[in-house]
Amino acid sequence: MDAQPGRSVTSKVLALLDAFTPASPALTLSELARRAELPLPTASRRVAELVAWGALERGDDGRYRIGLRLWEVGSLAPRGLGLRELALPTLEDLYEVTHENVQLAVRQDVELVFIERIAGRHAVPVLTRVGGRFALHATGVGLVLLAYAPAEVQEQVLAAPLERYTPLTITDPGRLRRGLAEVRRTGYAISDRQVTMDALSVAAPIYGPEGAVVAAISLVVAQHRADPVALAPLVQAAGRTISRSLGTSYGSRRSAG
Amino acid sequence: MDAQPGRSVTSKVLALLDAFTPASPALTLSELARRAELPLPTASRRVAELVAWGALERGDDGRYRIGLRLWEVGSLAPRGLGLRELALPTLEDLYEVTHENVQLAVRQDVELVFIERIAGRHAVPVLTRVGGRFALHATGVGLVLLAYAPAEVQEQVLAAPLERYTPLTITDPGRLRRGLAEVRRTGYAISDRQVTMDALSVAAPIYGPEGAVVAAISLVVAQHRADPVALAPLVQAAGRTISRSLGTSYGSRRSAG
DNA sequence: CACGGCCTTTCACTGAGTGAAATAGACGCT
DNA sequence: AGCGTCTATTTCACTCAGTGAAAGGCCGTG
């Protein structure tokens, strides 16, 4: 090796998995090698082992995809399907009442990950994808997760440039900081056309058994429909219901590093 | 090492992931080491790397769980959430019409894996779990997936002892073989109290773009309700609808090894 | 049939990973 | 406090798993 003498084998294996993204779920061996910054023979060897185990699958087109075995193991993540399954009945209730998009998300470092989405066919189309990531400073769920995040996470987000998605996106750290205080005061967050000009969202926190915010739930509605403040109690109630069900069966965990 | 001088590092990492099962989603380091058949220091080292990447998370109780990052990567599996998302609208339609449990499953080797389940609160409780595995010879989805599996998979299942779940479970290879032929002839499968005495299921195949069966859909109803044969066309129609949506966007893949 | 793209295998070398033992915590008991 | 137990991490010298370079398949294609 030249630039990196002595990267651990484990990190190479994980780098290969990292190469797969929602934008590129199928890759050839050479693409994999390039993205993982590995020489081709090494990539070939590691990939062969991953395929043998079922972490990757090789399609008829010769490209590699994430394998079902890995999906299976991943589904054991308590903040993944575990949280999803506990929250699902409540998400469905909220959908039944409103017939709008319902989203469930958790924070991972300085981003959020969408765990579940219930999207009525008549509701506003949203850009998100289950399993996908997004910045914390624009969406309703993001604002909630950020507002209740540890101080060092907030500072990290506030210190970095805040990407602008629409003219209404908050990109000023000071304004964002005041917005977060407001979220903590009211117990809900409203993102009004800060992600797309078509939609606004109302989000509320979900608490784990230890009292920390572990997830957020939101309702995404078309920009012209309904008063978001009027919807907040509904979303908050759903958040509380889920919090309660977590209290009984959801295992404890540390906030994501 | 004693028994296995020279297991590859990759296989050790994967063995650690393998240690997590639906029955044991949280493990201490020593439990992990024992299940993966690794000496404790080695397990400690590999686990530390997995935690750093996000494949595992350490809870407040000191036990390790599957991390969100792994769930995220796993959600990219085309036969996992990918298939799920394409099928979901149709599954919901089927649920709206019947208000019974709807299940979606794919075959992985000689077992099936449940990808999604829509369970009305008033429907029969089922034993399965999204992300969970089950044998192929008893459930409706299993019979469909087995009936259309490659010959070598069928022979492998028929050669092994068929586990009995209820007095009605088919455990005779000859009878199972005739049952599979019947499934192929009619295009649907009925499992009548072969998993539990409370429920029966009606299942139909889902075809990929190449014409191979890639998944199966089923309706699980209480044993005393409705004629299963009468439900078959409904389930088959849903299967065809999903097959059609796969035709357009579902990437090609080989059958699981 | 020579060429080029793409992947796998061979071979000798070497440093990442190893086991054994020492060390460091965490907790309970007296 | 002092000791025992259980569990996890670190140290250290050794060695085998993983490595790069090059050669070898295996296609399609001109």
| CA of A234, C1' of D13: distance in angstroms | 65
Beta carbon of B167 within 7 Å of strand D?
no
Q: Per CA to C1' distance, which residue is closest to C18?
A: B42
Residue A253 pLDDT more than 50?
Answer: no
Report d(CA A128, CA B72) in Å as an integer. Answer: 14
Q: Check residue B60 and give its pLDDT.
A: 79
Confirm or reject contact between B155 and chain A (CB < 8 A).
no
Q: Do A57 and B256 touch (CB under 8 A)?
A: yes
Residue A200: partners with Cβ closer than 8 Å, 6 or more residues away: A140, A190, A191, A192, A193, A220, A221, A223, A228
Answer whether A78's CB lies under 8 Å from B66's CB.
Answer: yes
Residue A251 pLDDT more than 80?
Answer: no
- Mean pLDDT confidence for A238-249: 86
Mutation target for B interface from A12, A72, A84: give the one with most B CBs within 10 A.
Answer: A72
Q: Per CA to C1' distance, which residue is closest to D20?
A: A1
| CA of B11, C1' of C21: distance in angstroms | 26
**Mean pLDDT over all residues of chain A?**
88
Residue B256 pLDDT more than 70?
Answer: no
Cα-to-chain-centroid distance, residue B147: 16
**B2-38 residue pLDDT tens:** 334 568 999 999 999 999 998 889 999 999 999 999 9
Answer whether A223's CB lies under 8 Å from A100's CB.
Answer: no
Residue A181 pLDDT more than 70?
Answer: yes
Q: If you compute the radius of gyration of chain A from its CA atoms, what whole number of angstroms results?
A: 20
- Mean pLDDT confidence for A158-185: 96
According to DSSP, residue B21 is labeled B
**A125-146 residue pLDDT tens:** 677 788 889 999 999 999 999 9
Burial class (CB in 10 A: 0-12, 13-18, 19+), A105: buried
Taking CA–CA distances from B253, the nearest residue in chain A reads A59
ipTM of the complex: 0.88
Residue A124 pLDDT more than 80?
Answer: no
**B168-194 residue pLDDT tens:** 999 999 999 999 999 999 999 999 999
Question: Which residue, among B54, B94, B50, has the nearest Cα to B73 in the 3D structure?
Answer: B54
Minimal C-alpha gap between B197 and chain A (Å): 25
According to DSSP, residue B48 is labeled H
Beta carbon of A74 within 7 Å of strand D?
no
Least confident window among A114-118, A248-252, B94-98: A248-252
Q: Which of B59, B66, B121 sits opposite A74 (nearest CB)?
A: B66
All residues of chain B having their beta carbon less than 8 Å from the beta carbon of residue A79 are 57, 68, 71
Q: Nearest 10 degrees: CA dihedral of B184, B185, B188, B192?
A: -100
Q: What is the biggest distance separating any 2 CA atoms in chain B, rounded to whole angstroms?
A: 60
Least confident window among A49-58, A111-120, A232-241, B113-122: B113-122
Q: Which of B8, B67, B121 sits opposite A49 (nearest CB)?
A: B8
Question: Which residue, among B247, B255, B205, has the nearest Cα to A60 in the 3D structure?
Answer: B255
Q: Check residue A203 and give its pLDDT.
A: 97
Q: Check residue B170 and give its pLDDT.
A: 96
| CA of B41, C1' of C24: distance in angstroms | 14
- Mean pLDDT confidence for B145-170: 95
Lookup: tokens for A110: 């300085």
All residues of chain A having their beta carbon less than 8 Å from the beta carbon of residue B26 are 78, 251
Answer whether B238's CB lies under 8 Å from B204's CB.
Answer: yes
**All domains of chain B, ordered by start, with CATH?**
9-73 (1.10.10.10), 78-249 (3.30.450.40)
Q: Check residue B252 and give its pLDDT.
A: 40
| CA of A41, C1' of D23: distance in angstroms | 13
- Mean pLDDT confidence for B40-59: 91
Answer whether B36's CB lies under 8 Å from B16's CB.
Answer: yes
Sequence-separated contacts (24+) of B51-60 with Cβ below 8 Å? B53/A11, B53/A14, B54/A108, B54/A256, B54/A257, B55/A14, B55/B17, B56/B16, B57/A77, B57/A79, B57/A253, B57/A254, B57/A256, B58/A254, B59/A251, B59/A252, B59/A253, B59/A254, B59/B26, B60/A210, B60/A252, B60/A253, B60/A254
Q: Check residue B210 and give its pLDDT.
A: 79
Residue A252 pLDDT more than 50?
Answer: no
Distances in Å between the alpha carbon of A99 and those of A92, A93, A95, A102?
A: 9, 10, 5, 9
Q: Check residue B61 and give its pLDDT.
A: 83
Residue A47 pLDDT more than 90?
Answer: yes
Q: Check residue A123 and give its pLDDT.
A: 64
Minimal C-alpha gap between A100 and chain B (Å): 15
A118: confidence class by pLDDT, cuts 50, 70, 90: confident
Confirm or reject contact between A39 and chain B (CB < 8 A).
no
Q: Check residue A4 and give its pLDDT.
A: 45
Report d(CA B64, CA B102) in Å as an integer. Answer: 33
Q: Check residue B4 and give its pLDDT.
A: 45
Report d(CA B81, CA B211) in Å as an integer. Answer: 21
Residue A250 pLDDT more than 70?
Answer: no
Tell me the β-bridge partners of A204.
A217
Q: Which of B50, B66, B256 sits opposite A68 (nearest CB)?
A: B256
- Mean pLDDT confidence for B197-213: 91
- Mean pLDDT confidence for B219-238: 89
User: Who wins on pLDDT, B153 or A227?
Assistant: B153
- Percentage of chain B lying above the pLDDT 90 cut: 65
Q: Check residue A215 and give its pLDDT.
A: 96
**A192-217 residue pLDDT tens:** 999 999 889 999 999 988 788 999 99
Q: Check residue A129 and give its pLDDT.
A: 84
Answer whether A188's CB lies under 8 Å from A164's CB.
Answer: no
Report d(CA A193, CA B242) in Å as an integer. Answer: 34
Report d(CA A153, CA A256) in Å as an integer. Answer: 10
Report d(CA B71, CA A142) in Å as an integer. Answer: 19
| CA of B93, C1' of D28: distance in angstroms | 46
Lookup: tokens for B152: 């070598």
Q: Check residue A256 and give its pLDDT.
A: 36
- Mean pLDDT confidence for B73-91: 89
Confirm or reject contact between B68 and chain A (CB < 8 A).
yes
